[in-house]
Structure 1
Amino acid sequence: MATIEPKSETAADEPTTGRTVLPGAPPFTVDDLLKFPDDGNRYELCNGSLLVSPAPKKLHQLALYQLQRILDEAAPPELVLLSTVNLRVSAHDLYIPDFVVATEESLHTDELMFSPEELLLAVEVGSPSTSIRDEGFKALAYAKAGIPAYWRIDLEEEPVLYVYELDDDRYDAPAVHKAGAVAHLTTPFPVGFDPAVLIRGRR
């Protein structure tokens, strides 16, 4: 992955081979983020600090496809299912969940950003580079933002689904659903599936 460096007065005159030079300087704002280059990385903000993730791998993309297919069959018509949306929490906090369930009305507000109150569910599919982040402060951030439910999908061995539900301003300890058994879920709407199907090819 490329080295990420904020742009400074001298950086513009330096060779940039093998580096991505970013406009602005920390602490970054959401407006700064909109000026970043499209270099294949995913840029998020936590309290003005950059979170950088590489492009998702094949298994990650398959899991998201299968999840969207499953949820699309069960979702009521007034909800929309989307991947990799911009979630603006504050001027210095922006996240890009792998997948969300949002209200239909949210499509008619800001064209670039979702706000937390428009989301009913945020989903992150873990990878070795993001698993600690997803389990730790992503769960804290989504809870603090008031998102009613958060699912974390671990693909390290067999798929495992961790389901968090909001209790006041924090999530309860997650319910753990392992591959080989159907997870019967009720939030944000009733749906049941075996996490193992998330990494099976299209049938």
Structure 2
Amino acid sequence: MTAMPRTGEEWTVDDLDRLPDDGLQYELLDGLLLVTPAPVPVHQRAIGNLYLLLRAACPPGQEVFLAPLDWRPDLRTSLQPDLLVVGNDDVGEKNVTAPLTLAVEVLSPSTRRKDLVLKRSKYEECGVQSYWVIDPKAPSLVALDLIDGAYVTSADVAGDERAALRLPFPVDVVPANLVRPAP
């Protein structure tokens, strides 16, 4: 991950919209431009398998999306969770501005600090109901739920352990299954 400094003014979502479509992931966090390289196969496998699991469990009125889809809670922030769940009525033509029901980040060496510290803080501050962090290397899952404005761990499992999650909707997740190739 690279943070792109800027002389003078901070970056805005309007600046972000003018950047090239060059295969890199561009995000804004409070006016700071973050640039991330393309993910590796195990990262994508974990996202794909979790997407299928969440899609099957998702109740009416909610929708599951894969990155890249911008979540723009303010004019200085545009984040792209690896997976996100949002109410159907909160999906805009180009992006989402309402608080997310769920944000999921899959860790990689280039995104670990950004996901565990920077994004977690922003999601918490902006009222994202649930935040899950998947580490495909371990494999593991930490699930956080927003209680009284702060994240509280609702599950912390690894390998073949099962997380019986209730928020944002009931779903069971086994971290090892997320990184296994399809049969």
Distance 1:115 1:106 in 2: 7
Q: Is the 8 A contact 1:44 1:95 kept in 2?
A: yes
Deviation at 1:104, TM superposition (A): 1.6
Q: Is the 8 A contact 1:140 1:170 kept in 2?
A: no
- Ranked by relative contact order (alpha carbons within 8 Å, sequence separation 6 or more), the top structure is 2
Q: Deviations over 1:104-140 (max 9, x none)?
A: 2223xx21120133x2100000000111111112111
Corresponding residue of 2:125: 144
Q: Deviations over 1:14-57 (max 9, x none)?
A: xxxxxxxxxxx651100000000011111111121111111111
Q: Is the 8 A contact 2:4 2:33 kept in 1?
A: no
Amino acid at match of 1:181: E
RMSD of aligned Cα (Å): 2.0
Aligned residue for 1:55, secondary structure, equals: coil
Aligned residue for 1:33, secondary structure, equals: helix
Distance 1:2 1:149 in 2: 26
Residues 1:128 and 2:131 are matched in the alignment: no
Corresponding residue of 1:94: 78
Corresponding residue of 1:78: 61
Residues 1:53 and 2:36 are matched in the alignment: yes
Q: Is the 8 A contact 2:107 2:133 kept in 1?
A: yes
Distance 1:148 1:53 in 2: 25
Q: How many residues align?
A: 182
Corresponding residue of 1:175: 155
Distance 2:149 2:140 in 1: 25
Deviation at 1:2, TM superposition (A): 9.6
| Runs of 4+ in structure 1 over 2 Å off | 1-6
Provide closer, same or farther for how the CA distance between residues 111 and 176 of structure 1 changes in structure 2, counting only shifts above 3 A.
Answer: same
Larger-Rg structure? 1
Distance 2:73 2:11 in 1: 14
Structure 1 unaligned segments of length 5 or more: list them. 9-24
Q: TM-score, normalised by structure 2?
A: 0.91
Q: TM-score, normalised by structure 1?
A: 0.83
Distance 1:28 1:59 in 2: 32
Corresponding residue of 2:177: 197
Aligned residue for 1:116, secondary structure, equals: coil
Provide closer, same or farther for how the CA distance between residues 59 and 150 of structure 1 changes in structure 2, counting only shifts above 3 A.
Answer: same
Q: Is the 8 A contact 1:116 1:146 kept in 2?
A: no
Amino acid at match of 1:66: N
Q: Deviations over 1:89-111 (max 9, x none)?
A: 1111111111001112223xx21
Amino acid at match of 1:115: T
Deviation at 1:4, TM superposition (A): 6.0
Distance 1:193 1:122 in 2: 15
